[in-house]
Amino acid sequence: MNKAIFYHAGCPVCVEAEQRFVTALNPSDYQVEEVNLGNEKGRISEAEKLGVTSVPALVIGGTPFHINFGASINDLK
Amino acid sequence: MNKAIFYHAGCPVCVEAEQRFVTALNPSDYQVEEVNLGNEKGRISEAEKLGVTSVPALVIGGTPFHINFGASINDLK
């Protein structure tokens, strides 16, 4: 089982990405953790280290994929 | 079975998105068509009508998700 992390901030673009995109991942291959950086500011530095610059973003295998654009990481600090 | 369309242009960002992301979709839910707009310029207008402005992009249920940024649609014309 691979782990994927979906970073979001509860924004409309984030919610749409979560509902359409994250739920489309193969559940037998991926376990998805969802992190709301608006609420969990302590994890912003972790997201930045992974290369996340905006939300929503999905990190798979250590690689960040920015999906559309909801908010900049800097605006969540 | 839902249909998803992955628009790309063979760029490195596109290839990474395809290998990591598109292959992570649930194969029992989604059938993914891959379209290289660099080779199939006749489908650029179709992509634009769906709201695609850059590649790589994945259209699920009529909604475009732009994944990172490889190239602008305008640069493929």
Q: Which residues of chain A have pLDDT under 50?
A: none
Judge: A68–B66 Cβ closer than 8 Å, yes or no.
yes
CB contact under 8 A, B67 and A67: yes
**Residue partners of A15: CB distance under 8 A and separation at least 6:** A8
pLDDT at residue B33 tops 90: yes
With a cut of 0.95, is the ipTM above it? no
Q: How far is B35 from chain A (nearest CA, A)?
A: 19
For residue B39, the distance in angstroms to the closest alpha carbon of chain A comes to 24
Tell if the CB–CB gap between B4 and A17 is shorter than 8 Å.
no
Q: Which two tokens stand for residue A34?
A: 């969802």
Could you say which DSSP state residue A25 is in? Answer: B
**pLDDT of res. B1:** 79
Q: Which of B27, B61, B68 sits opposite A66 (nearest CB)?
A: B68
Mean confidence (pLDDT) of chain A: 94
How would you classify the pairing of strands A2-8 and A30-36?
parallel
Mean pLDDT, range B57-67, rounded to an integer: 93
User: Is the separation of the CB atoms in A30 and A60 below 8 Å?
Assistant: yes
Within 8 A by CB and 6+ apart from A31, the residues are A1, A2, A3, A4
